[in-house]
Structure 1
Amino acid sequence: MMVPVRCFTCGNVVSEHWEEFENRTREGEEDPQQVLDELGVERYCCRRMLVSHVDLVDVVSPYQ
């Protein structure tokens, strides 16, 4: 649903990078790997939290 605040594996804060990561990759101008490098997200576990997230809030909210 929402972006997890912290990485499930290591506990680092990942939610602070979500908006910029989503905006830069949605436009298609940059590779996700390059964006994560520029944001300073180095650990693989934290990278997977951002890359694999699917935002379903708009899909699920009408059913609540």
Structure 2
Amino acid sequence: METRKRSIVKAVIWNGLGLVSMTLVGLAATGSVKAGGAMALVNTGIGFTVYLAYECVWAQVQWGRRHV
């Protein structure tokens, strides 16, 4: 089982990468750093929350695990 701290660190790193890429996509789509950055921040906040919930659900699922 994965620790809560590990799940949070993974989520922060993943969302940091997403924030950068989404800012670039938003910039390309709107031509504005401010609008692209705002879109990216909203997307990152939602994504972070959903990812942590997703990890918590999968932490409870026993299917596919091998116990040694």
Task: Answer whether TM exceeds 0.5 for this pair.
Answer: no
More helix by share: 2
Higher RCO structure, 1 or 2 (CA under 8 Å, sep 6+): 1
Quick check: which has more Rg, 1 or 2? 2
